[in-house]
Structure 1
């Protein structure tokens, strides 16, 4: 019953938000990926992996040492710094297997470089290979802004205010067993439990102590919420407290007060919560949906929670009800506005993307094409001269765009049960029509990198100012593995002019391709 454990050594001092501005530093992280038994919900498998904490303006250098040896699990790996954008010259280190690189073979190492980082907010890291990150290779990546224009809204913002939300599975051979079962039946696996900061419970399981976050009455806390699940939509609510949303997916927002937030897989939010209630214990509720619970009798959405404990309160569970009811004043994504308004530029290219599933099968299509990862990564092909759609297999579903244009994607309403969290690598997009509203807003829409395509349809726009191939896929990784993905290739000639990989990158594909299938 082994799970991936990621041990990370950060070789740079961390500068917290609100402190005096200091010169940028280079953070060097050594990340050892190994197998070890863990048990977040009492069933031995998982862990809460270490966070990576850096400042805006810093550089991040991460060396991944692949030490995976368990033959029942996927042994090659990769690293995606999710939501953190590589510059085009660094694109070969972006971390998308078969798009920008080949996976890292067992026993090998690879170093990813990013920076100076120009973003700030909540991000996370995980394996991008297959559904491997469900096996434990995932953790928070926070970029603090020492000059945060919203720092006056909160008093505390540190490692203790990061809230990781994840799904947990008891199957001990998740990647090599459950994925083929899904592909054969079309029935997506249902998680046994959900975790809050690495802790959860399930029906009939042990009463594992809840994760506890301690607050001091009167102080304002910036909680950084990250949904690291591979499928589940999690609703976050602080019992007896409202939340003021100030950031989504690394983009600052005009403060917006709400009582609950539905978070899709991969999404991140920053919320300010004021400890203004009587000294006591309160639930941090995180109920979830993710498939039919009848397919896994261990699942109980009401057991996804943690405790908000005021300093001075007894170390006991809250007395509030365990039942979950619809929360009033839940967040409507279409009501959010950016802190600094920016109009979405007019579209130069309009495309409609239809998402369809083949009934009874694990096959998802985007415009009637089910994505299949090629053996030769997209970037390798581009560097070798590929420039037109004819240079790629149809199943690579590669859309080629000219430079310096605005592209509009329209996703029509679909009647599928899932709201697909569509995730764009490399840049954010303007969400001009969210799934939550029929209003098209091109004047001051929010920007983010994950949005739901569902029953009401969505529209988004993005620029092709940045050359390179960028993965665009559903962050329900079961769907992505079943073909719900595309590659957006901006300016192939510009990509060749700016991307010049190093020898370490050049060695990845020969090493991976030489592996027997069981080691890939």
Structure 2
């Protein structure tokens, strides 16, 4: 009845007020000024790289069918951090004809330097779900350039402005499970360092140990040992309502175990794809992953801890005495509860854990099989000059000077036309590719992310089952000691990055490129002059502006 009434009201608004933009796809202009500025999400002030001066950056919202026109102005001035930039819109499908707007440095584009701008045009098509944007250049997003991006099925922000908050997408098969889904129900979790990524990365290259974060953040706030008592971010709910919380792990390293005291969660989305509902009291979210969970506000009015225990990246607090994994949390606060912290202990999760187990599905038969063996080689010589490397099949990815897409447009046709260190796998268009990550002996869980596409998760790392019947689809999955199998199709011609979303690992070699349908790419891609000017401009920059 509530949904029916909402749509009657919507029809009346359209009829009497001419609000065609409420449901009609449109062009949405967004400006992101990338600036250096102070940030203190855990109370420690440091120089940062920020979108529109905030951490996290502003939330980008859109409606299915919209075209986003995102103008990014590079206003970076601090030469202690990277001054060029390039933006990736994680999980958003990019049509081959528009692949030059995909944002992967040295794969589909070049970064752009300080004092310049670039405009990303992103037709969203039929895609909906939970996404995010971040710098794809080196480790720059660890310095702060990251923000949420949500694509709704209908124009939720416009409806809220007319008093219709919580209206669900009529095409969402799970819309009956929740009452509220708006900007207030977005949860971001992130790791945070007090030093900038440039010296930390140099430290990592020297000792092969990823620097441990100083704190974990929930919705942009957190605490560290001995630091100020920053107010935890509250999430406001009304008793009796059901909320769709969209969880985005914006970490450069950390794996977060999310739980809410005295509440269960029902997973209904993974990385922009609806899933069969799965109830749990812990959701393990790897770097780059997104989940939507439904939570019923059905407990006594009060304050309840939201715990985000950091499993990785907070793994050895002895390496950073600032880190206290119990201090990463938020507060679920019911309307009518006092504005205070919960009086219950800060636990690391429920005493009777019931974690999410990633599901399975049966996609089409396989056309090509790949095996990706990940390994780490310390103190090795390589074209990258790194003292440590992460490899796929004994090859450490090194970004080429000429982006992969440029080479394809210039006539590259096979893997032999790319440098070995580009780790580029070439396939025909419209084929089914299966990638197997055998069980690893390394004590690491790598969240592998496929740009511009998603994949069927045939075997999850934490499951022994090969499920080809009803797999979930997502674009980030963990590969580690349990072994992982994914499948995807090359129905979107072009070069797409496939890499570990632990950016420390990615930046020392744990990356590859899946290049499908090279001839089809050349037929469909018609770059703009602005894109063609990016590489010459970037290559002409002095080193301190790159």
Global fold match (TM > 0.5): yes
CA distance in 1, matches of 2:38, 2:24: 40
Which range moves more in the overlay, 506-515 or 383-392?
383-392
Q: Between Structure 1 and Structure 2, how many residues are aligned?
A: 498
Query: Pick from 359, 362, 369: which aligns with 1:343?
Result: 362
Counterparts of residues 15-414 of structure 1 (less than 5 Å): 22-45=23-46, 47-146=55-154, 147=170, 148-171=172-195, 174-289=196-311, 290=313, 291-325=315-349, 328-334=352-358, 336=359, 343-359=362-378, 361-414=387-440
CA deviations 1:401-426 (Å, max 9, x no partner) are 11221111111001222210000011
TM-score, normalised relative to structure 2: 0.89
CA–CA distance in structure 2, aligned partners of residues 255 and 311 of structure 1 = 27
Alpha-carbon distance, 1:175 to partner: 2.7
Q: Deviations over 1:123-143 (max 9, x none)?
A: 000000000001111000001
Within 1, Cα distance between the matches of 2:391 and 2:185?
39
Aligned 8 A contact 1:259 1:327 in 2: no
- In 2, the alpha carbon distance for the partners of 1:387 and 1:90 equals 20
Label 1:501 to 1:309 Cα distance change in 2 as closer, same or farther (>3 A).
same
CA apart distance, 1:327:
5.1
Deviation at 1:19, TM superposition (A): 6.1
What value does the CA root-mean-square deviation take over the aligned residues?
1.6
The superposition leaves residues 442-470 of structure 1 with CA deviations (integer Å, 9 ceiling, x where unpaired) of 11111100000011101111111211000
Whole-angstrom distance in 2 between the partners of 1:221 and 1:346: 38
- Contact 2:93 2:452 survives alignment (8 Å): yes
Equivalent-residue separation in structure 1 for 2:76 and 2:215 (angstroms): 25
Once structures 1 and 2 are overlaid, which stretch shifts more, 86-95 or 286-295? 286-295
Q: Secondary structure at the match of 1:31?
A: strand
Contact 1:249 1:269 in 2 (8 A): yes
Match status 1:484 vs 2:523: no
Contiguous gaps of at least 5 residues in structure 2: 1-5, 12-21, 49-54, 155-169, 380-386
What is the CA–CA distance in structure 2 between the aligned matches of 1:214 and 1:461, rounded to whole Å?
39
The question of 1:460 aligning with 2:468 is answered: no
Q: 1:362 offset after TM fit, Å?
A: 2.5
Q: Secondary structure at the match of 1:183?
A: helix
Once residues 490 and 195 of structure 1 are traced to their aligned partners in structure 2, the CA distance between those partners, rounded to angstroms, is 38
Gapped regions of structure 1 (runs ≥ 5):
1-14
| Alignment partners' CA distance in 2, 1:175 and 1:242 | 36
Give the 3 Å change call, closer, same or farther, for CA 440–463 of structure 1 in structure 2: same
CA deviation digits over 1:270-290, x for unaligned, max 9?
001011000110001111021
Q: Distance in 1 between matches of 2:392 and 2:506?
A: 11
Matched, 1:474 2:504: no
* Secondary structure at 2:388 match in 1: coil
CA contact (8 A) 1:131 1:175 kept: yes
3-state DSSP of counterpart to 1:134: helix
**Contact 2:375 / 2:392 at 8 angstroms: preserved in 1?**
yes
2 CA distance for matches of 1:304 and 1:362?
Answer: 30
Correspondence 1:492-507 to 2 at 5 A: 492-507=518-533
8 Å contact kept, 1:332–1:436: no
TM-superposed CA distance for 1:343, in Å, is 3.1
SS at match of 1:195: strand
What do the CA deviations read for 1:188-237 (whole angstroms, capped 9, x no partner)?
Answer: 11100010000000001010011011111101111010000000000110
Q: Which SS does the other structure have where 2:39 is aligned?
A: coil
| SS, match of residue 496 in structure 1 | helix
Deviation of the 1:326 alpha carbon: 5.9
SS at match of 2:447: strand
